Amino acid sequence: MSGTIFTFTTPLVMPTTNQLTLSDRRDHFLARLGLNRSGHRVEPGLHSLGSPTPDSPVFVTANYTLSFDALRSSLDEWMNCYILVLDTKGVNVWCAAGKGTFGTGELVNRIKITGLADKVNHRMLILPQLGATGVSAHEVKKLTGFRVEYGPVRAADLPEYLETHKATPEMRRVQFNLIERLVLFPVELVKLLPYLLVIPLILYFVSGPLAGAGAAATMLAGIVLFPILLPFIPTKDFSSKGLILGGLVALPFALAAYQYEIDTTPCMQITRAIAPMMVMPPVTAFLSLNFTGSTTFTSVTGVRQEISTYTRIMAWMFASGVATLIILTILRITGW
Amino acid sequence: MFDSYQSNTLKYDPAKCINCRMCTTVCPHAVFAPGENEVRLADYLACMECGACQMNCPTGAITVESGVGCAYAMFYAALTGKDEPTCGTAEDPCC
């Protein structure tokens, strides 16, 4: 080929659709399980939906597939628009905004790299509301001339929002409904799977089926039951909620331990029953407390306060419970 | 009792407020409510310290020590004596 001309072309606009394919669903499934953790990325830059004109709106999102796909699949089929994808290292809008990667600096930078100002004749960007933690609207306006408009929290509310560009109070608030809580536990389950398999197995061989089942129940209570039952467990602190839930889960094990060998003294029976009540609740509470990181309503000040209030109680309960179990095991082995 | 969320680091100076209402827009917990001359601090305890209001307040009327509230991060900091890491570094995207 002769006469090839090398030019510095303006960066490509990547076409996309509002349809989710089977491969997208597969990607979402793996992301929900926390598999290939940093691999759920979209190419940062300018994407086009339909055939956008210089008058078309510009939406901004993170380069995490779940974020990008939530946005594009919420938009109507006839919609012509641009989607400006920021490089958030494959992290969702909320977490990336907290860290600052979904932030003023990256937004300003991405506007310049993509030459957005030459592609549209208006100066307005629609950002997800939860991106506001990292983006300063007045700074963006000062640095690029683009006005930042914060859309609703959830992409699903966009079609209604776009009719008036006004969000209802409901659209502005985060929820934490059952479905939102349910999608969270698979990630934790996969992350803790090695412990979930190994610890009950070891306890099964060392102590027996009751100990093995107890360990599995304790962990599953913290990982699966806790997110589901969160609003229904009394008290406000996650640690106290976890202790209550762990205590309830431990009850049948305490009863079973009490009835384990009825030929021993009542003192031994009670000691045996107390052990699971000491060991199990603090583990469930610890796992529950970690769930504060997945919510959108616990403040850092509050969580720090929780950690300082409950860590010692949880450690003390667990340590004395384990000590009791060790003594009981030694007594059993030595045939006391 | 059993409520560690009875205070937070949110501070609001109504004297600096120009009533642009960006804080009422960005807050996901309706901590601020529209008022006639300035916004009102309507639900102080609902604040989760995300920092969106401070970030988008053009006059600096709002300050808050923001953080992600991740217990793993705080346990990690307590155990290692290092600073609390934030969400999702390039090497370890946590959430």
In the predicted model, is pLDDT for residue A335 greater than 60? yes
Query: Which of B78, B79, A177, B76 has its CA nearest to residue B87?
Result: B76
Give the C-alpha separation, A223 to A234, whole Å.
18
How far does A209 lie from chain B, in Å, by closest CA?
31
A21 & A58 share domain: yes
**CATH number of the domain enclosing A139:** 3.40.50.11600
d(CA A285, CA A152): 34
Buried b (16+ CB within 10 A) or exposed e, A251-272: eebbebbbebeeeeeeebbebb
Q: Is B16 on the interface with A (CB under 8 A)?
A: no
Same domain assignment for residues A203 and A276: yes
Question: Where residue B85 falls among pLDDT bands split at 50, 70, 90?
Answer: low
- The answer to whether the Cβ–Cβ distance between A133 and B46 falls below 8 Å is no
Band (A9; pLDDT cuts 50, 70, 90): low
In-domain check, residue A6: no
The partner residue sitting opposite A289, judged by closest CB among B3, B5, B71, is B71
Across residues A184-205, what is the average pLDDT?
Answer: 94
pLDDT given for residue A60 in this prediction: 98
Residue A269 in domain = yes
**H or E stretch at A149:** strand A147-150
Which of A303, A305, A312, A313 is best to mutate for the B interface (most B CBs within 10 A)? A303
Residue A150 CA to residue A86 CA, distance in Å, equals 16
| DSSP secondary structure letters along A275-288 | HHHHHHHHHHHHHH
pLDDT of residue B92: 47
Cβ pair A281, B58 in contact under 8 A: no
CA–CA separation, A175 vs A229, rounded Å? 15
Question: Chain B: residue nearest A148 by CA?
Answer: B56
pLDDT at residue A336, as a whole number = 61
Digit-coded pLDDT (tens) for A130-166: 999 999 999 999 999 999 999 999 999 999 999 999 9
Q: Which of A24-28, A89-93, A106-110, A266-270 has the lowest mean pLDDT?
A: A266-270
In a domain, residue A302? The reply is yes
A contacts of B72 (beta carbons < 8 Å): 290, 293
Same domain, A215 and A162: no
Instruction: Write down which residue in A174, A202, A234 finishes a domain.
Output: A174
Residue A107 maps to a domain: yes
DSSP 3-state helix, strand, coil percentages of chain B (rounded to 5)? 25, 10, 65
Distance from CA of B8 to the nearest CA of A (A): 6
Same-domain pairing of A146 and A216: no
Task: State the burial class of residue A121 (Cβ atoms within 10 Å of its Cβ: 0-12, 13-18, 19+).
Answer: exposed
CB nearest to B87's CB, from A98, A136, A305? A98
What is the structure's pLDDT at B78?
67
Locate all alpha helices (DSSP H) within B43-91, ordered by sequence.
Answer: 52-56, 71-80
Phi-psi region of A208 (alpha: psi -120 to 50; beta: other; left: phi over 0): left
Last residue of a domain, one of A174, A195, A221: A174
Domain range annotation of chain B: 11-64, 68-95
Note down the domain range covering A49.
Answer: 14-174
The two three-digit tokens of residue B85, written as one number: 């890491």
pLDDT tens string B17-63: 999 999 999 999 999 999 999 999 999 999 999 999 999 999 999 99
Q: Identify which of B4, B30, B56 has the shortest CB distance to residue A136.
A: B56
Residue A8 lies in a domain: no
Instruction: Answer yes or no: do A132 and A230 share one domain.
Output: no
Q: Does A143 share its domain with A286?
A: no
Mutation site, A32, A94, A138, A301, interface B, largest B CB count within 10 A:
A301
Least confident interval from A104-108, A216-220, B2-6: B2-6
The separation between the first and the last C-alpha atoms of chain A, rounded to the nearest angstrom, is 92
The number of distinct structural domains making up chain A is: 2
Do A202 and A166 share a domain, yes or no?
A: no
Whether residue A62 is found in the same domain as residue A200: no
Are residues A43 and A78 both part of a single domain?
yes
Answer whether residue A217 is part of any domain.
yes
pLDDT tens figures, A84-98: 999 999 999 999 999
> Are A119 and A190 in the same domain?
no
Task: Kindly state whether residues A200 and A271 are assigned to the same domain.
Answer: yes
Contacts of A96 in chain B (CB under 8 A): 87-88
- Position A83 pLDDT exceeds 60: yes
**Mutate which of A133, A284, A311 to disrupt the B interface (most B C-beta within 10 Å)?**
A133
Is pLDDT above 50 for A110? yes
Hey, are the CB atoms on B28 and A303 less than 8 Å from each other?
A: no
Q: Which CATH architecture has domain B11-64?
A: 2-Layer Sandwich (3.30)
Same domain, A251 and A292: yes
Nearest CA distance, B3 vs chain A (angstrom): 5
Look at residues A153, A174, A195 and tell me which one is the last residue of a structural domain.
A174
